[in-house]
Amino acid sequence: MATAASPPAPTLASGPTATLPETTLLFARIHLATLSDVPHIHKLIHQMVIFKPLTHLFSATESSLSSTLFTSPPFQSFTILLLEASPTPFPFTTPNKNTDTPPPSSFTSPTPSKITRGTFSKPTAMTKPGFYVEGLFVRECYRRKGFGRMLLSAVTKQAVKMGYGRVDWVVLDWNVNTIRFDEEMGAEVLNEWRGCRLTGEALQVYGGAD
């Protein structure tokens, strides 16, 4: 049986392609993603898998994201935070009661960064739940401007606010810049742990198990 064709790659986001000068003044804010953000999320995920590189695993479509990302209230399942950047100040809006950040608004330039998160069950060694950070991505032209720190700080602040006990994520062993960033954020790199995954045919064999 022929292998199903991969979904077409999204049109690349417009905007600057080179790193912006360090002197460029940018205003930024973070908001909870909504259905209207799905086209931006789709493009960001595609750019992230190019960076890793994991394009051979890319199967997301705007339709699949729309049907899976917004099925539960924020911070109870998949939750995405988007960071907007603009050369001009954002108009004042009422802070969102869940994240202390402005609600989403329409914007013309694609979001420079994103973070994907989901809560997980209480681990056996702890009595408190926590957040698992699926991915944190900043477009190359917006890197080294503190946006990654802003996004991860938004997650950790929410974890403390909800009384959670930990924030976990994984990092590729070759990504020394990210490892350095994680350590600067105060994270402990757990070298003794190895990631495990069941996917594809290895997962499907359990479909018929009793």
| 91 to 15, 103, 197: CA distances (angstroms) | 21, 12, 44
The 10s digit of each residue's pLDDT in 134-181 is 889 998 888 888 999 999 999 999 999 999 999 999 999 999 999 999
Cβ count within 10 A of residue 57: 12
Report d(CA 47, CA 54) in Å as an integer: 10
What the chain holds in terms of domains, given with CATH numbers, is: 27-189 (3.40.630.30)
As a whole-number percent, the residues of the chain with pLDDT over 90 amount to 39
pLDDT of 23: 63
58 near 49, Cβ under 8 Å? yes
The 10s digit of each residue's pLDDT in 92-115 is 765 554 444 444 333 233 344 455
Q: What is the pTM of this model?
A: 0.77
Among the residue ranges 56-60, 63-67, 117-121, 141-145, the one predicted with the least confidence is 117-121
161 φ, ψ to 5°? Answer: -60, -35
pLDDT of 108: 30
pLDDT of 66: 94
More confident call, 20 vs 146? 146
pLDDT of 5: 54
Burial (Cβ within 10 Å: 0-12, 13-18, ≥19) of residue 99: buried
Residue 17 CA neighbour count, 13 Å, CB half: 3
